[in-house]
Chain A
Amino acid sequence: MLEIKNLHVNINGSKILNGVNLKVNAGEVHALMGPNGSGKSTLALVLAGREDYKVTEGEVLYNGKNLLDLSPEDRAREGIFLAFQYPVEIPGVSNVNLLKTAVNEIRKYNGEEELDAIDFLDLIKEKMKLVELDQSFLKRSVNEGFSGGEKKRNEIFQMAVLNPRLAILDETDSGLDIDAIKVVANGVNKLRSKDNATIVVTHYQRLLNYIIPDFVHVLYNGRIVKSGGKELAMELEEKGYDWIKNGSEEVVSG
């Protein structure tokens, strides 16, 4: 589904990603871990189409298409969804308005008819239950005045409504208490299927107790320095990232 080949990315002239390689197939859950500043969020945002992040080398194929040629909106329409680490507050735009516009623009792009008000509301109500959000939430402005937990739940709610093929969760667990993590994880697990894939970006192993990954990768200094199964996450939790940092120097020097 997704193939990242030797990806190099600059932000304002400084090198953040240094040749990332990653392959994600349908039905898989990949965890991307790594210390702060290793480039995890940059990778997530580049996949979503942040235009001020410059790709200097490498390519990204998504279902055979060159992903980097697509605008952010077309990537979303092709089934990519990014749950933001810091969801943006948009005063004056209601959650329901954002979702209705998004759902219908995506449907239009895929040659489907727009949903009428009733069908749309049915869809929304069904998905709201998944993340335990209250009806009143729909009329509120996007993320405005939301608590950290509400913002993250809102991301998962949007994901549930838009039903992406490739979901990228960027530190969706950061700052959440265990109850909120369970709600988020439960939302993600219910959406797992053999046709879609998930990349879970996280700093901590904790979320992976609830979302069980098929693969775990460690990003350090803009490169994936180690890959393995779910047990790698446990190892990281135990030993911390220093072990990787030292190891990667070995890789570099070796």
Chain B
Amino acid sequence: MKDVINFKEWFLQKHNTFEDSLNGENTYLMHQIRKEALENFNELPLPTLKDEDWRYTNISPLLKYNFNIVTKDAKISNDTIQNYRFNNLKSHLIVFVNGQFSAENSKLLNLPNGVVIGSLSDAIKNNPEIVEKYFNKNTTNNHQIFAALSTAYTKDGAFIYVPEGKIVEDPIHIIFITSSKDEKIITQPRNLFIAGKNSQLTIIEHYISDKENIYFTNAVTEIIVNENAVVDHVKLQEESKNAFHIARMEVGQERNSNFTSHSISLGGALTRNNINALFNDEGSECTLNGLFLIEGEQLFDVHTLIDHAKPLCNSHEHYIGILDNKARGVFNGKVLVRPDAQKTNAFQKNKNIILSDQALINTKPELEIFADDVKCSHGATIGQMDEEAKFYLRSRGIADKTATAILIRAFSSDVIKSIKIKQIRNYLDELLSKRFSQ
């Protein structure tokens, strides 16, 4: 057994090798951004249970490994990818294998003029002015150690640019697949989505793996929703149950924009999602919904922040947790209504069901309201399987497991039915019935 090098030390050491592996992506600007982020990474402490934001999530299991940085291409068959596509849904497909864009697995449909869908590494080469304008503009990234790590190792990820007035009708299905044999690797997808004024698009970020391996996904997604644009975002995590997954999504909304997020997760060994939505201007709408289903000894943690910095915006949030065995969940939903943000409507709900004696959920709504003419509400519930309802279903001839699946589906229905794409709803129904008929 080789000794494990200190987590931070390891990534500081590997950075030179990483930059050497870059080709056209290594522009002077990107080099500067990476270098600065690496310095931040070096200075920021690793989170511990003493940090309020990490009180219930101990990252020490993650620190037990030195994850290798992938520099060479891996191949995945189209058949493998096909298993994770949605039946009867016409969509653009872009695939990343171990964090790197795979042209041979990807397939785009016809696109309106000026729309760019592809990889960040191509965008750095071909659209440097757009990347420069929007990349890593959210300053909170600089204060988060995992975001700093992502920025320092920026190489590839999904890039979408929809110019003013363009509508991308078919959803964009982005698959991130991790495929490694015995090697423990880190992949750091770095996604940048820009919706121009009056544009519209639907994005599906889908994280999968071909084996139940140990690896680390450290993802950062930045979404810019310009004036009157509509962005519908779905994230689906169906990864290895041994994977570590830390992800940050930063959403910036301009005037009258509309952003919807659905985050559906079957968890990994340790999953931490941070979702931050910021209203930069008036009249916008933001929906953050999520569903997580965890079992075994999985840990799933979601922290959301909706920042009502401007007046006349509406936010809706609904997270549902389903926990079995010894799984542990964390929901921390912060809604900040700044002094300026009059006529804010902000509604939050978190509902959890515990299927065993040993599962645990920590739920914490956090409303900070500094304006006086607002409507805000929050509610959190934790319950158990309704045995009366289950007996009722069984007394009608429905098998125990089917009855459980039906009730879990019903419990999840508020979040599932709010997903606009029917084919994804069907996919989730199947996922649920598979999960509970084991």
8 Å CB contact of A72 from B391, B402, B414: B391
Given contacts A72-B391, A88-B389, contact A93 B398 (CB under 8 A): no
Complex CA gap A103/B398 in Å reads 9
A3 within 8 A of B: no
A106 at the interface (CB under 8 A from B): yes
Contact A92 B394 (CB under 8 A): no
Chain B window 269-310, contacts with chain A (Cβ cutoff 8 Å), 1 for yes, 0 for no: 000000000000000000000000000000000000000000
19 A-B pairs (CB sep. < 8 Å): A48-B395, A49-B394, A72-B394, A72-B395, A73-B397, A73-B400, A75-B395, A76-B397, A81-B395, A84-B392, A88-B386, A88-B391, A92-B411, A93-B406, A102-B397, A103-B397, A106-B397, A109-B397, A162-B396
A77 at the interface (CB under 8 A from B): yes
Number of A-B contacts (CB under 8 A): 78
A46-84 at interface with B (beta carbon < 8 Å): 48-51, 71-73, 75-77, 81-82, 84
Using CB atoms, name the residue of chain A closest to B406.
A93
User: Is A97 among interface residues, defined by CB-CB distance under 8 A?
Assistant: yes
- Max chain A CB contacts within 10 Å: which of B389, B400, B409? B389
Are A98 and B413 interface neighbours, CB within 8 A?
A: no
CB pair B394–A90 under 8 Å, yes or no, is no
Pair B392/A73 contact, Cβ less than 8 Å: no
- Residues in A with CB closer than 8 Å to B402 are 101, 105
Residues of A close to B388: CB separation below 8 A: 88
Instruction: Let me know if A92 and B397 touch, CB within 8 A.
Output: no
Instruction: Indicate if B410 sits at the interface (CB-CB under 8 A).
Output: yes
Contact check, A93 vs B397: say whether CB atoms are below 8 A apart. Answer: no
Most buried by A among B386, B393, B403: B393
Whether A87 and B392, one on each chain, are in contact in the complex, defined by CB atoms closer than 8 angstroms, is yes
A221 within 8 Å of B (CB atoms): no
Chain A CB within 8 A of B407 CB: yes
B389→A101 contact, CB < 8 A? no
Which one of A82, A89, A142 contacts B395 once the chains associate, using CB atoms below 8 Å? A82
B385 within 8 A of A: no
- Residues in B whose Cβ lies below 8 Å from that of A141: 410
Tell whether, in the assembled complex, residue B410 and residue A93 are in contact, meaning their CB atoms are under 8 Å apart: yes
Decide: A105 near B413, CB < 8 A? Known: A72-B391, A88-B389: no
Min Cβ gap B400→A in Å is: 7
User: Which residues of B line the A interface, CB within 8 A?
Assistant: 386, 388-389, 391-400, 402-403, 406-407, 409-411, 413-414
Among B386, B394, B411, the residue within 8 A (CB) of A73 is B394
Return B297 CB to nearest CB of chain A, in Å: 29
Selected contact of A105 from candidates B392, B395, B397, B414, CB within 8 Å = B397
Query: How distant is the Cα of A93 from the Cα of B399 in the complex, in angstroms?
Result: 15
Which chain A residues lie closer than 8 Å to B392 at the CB level? 84, 87-88, 90, 142
Bound complex: CA of A236 vs CA of B399, how far in Å?
A: 41
Smallest CB separation, A234 vs chain B (Å): 32
Q: Besides the contacts A73-B403, A93-B410, what 14 more A-B pairs have beta carbons closer than 8 Å? A: A72-B394, A73-B394, A76-B398, A84-B395, A88-B386, A88-B388, A92-B409, A92-B413, A92-B414, A93-B406, A99-B396, A106-B397, A142-B392, A162-B397
Asked if A90 and B397 make an inter-chain contact with CB atoms under 8 angstroms apart, the answer reads no
Residues of A contacting B391 in the complex (Cβ-Cβ under 8 angstroms): 49-51, 72, 88
Question: Nearest Cβ in chain A — how far from B59, in angstroms?
Answer: 36
Tell whether A76 pairs with B410 under 8 Å between CB atoms, given A88-B388, A105-B402: no
> Ordered nearest first, which 9 A-B pairs have the shortest CB separation?
A92-B410, A76-B397, A72-B394, A102-B396, A88-B392, A106-B397, A92-B413, A73-B394, A93-B410
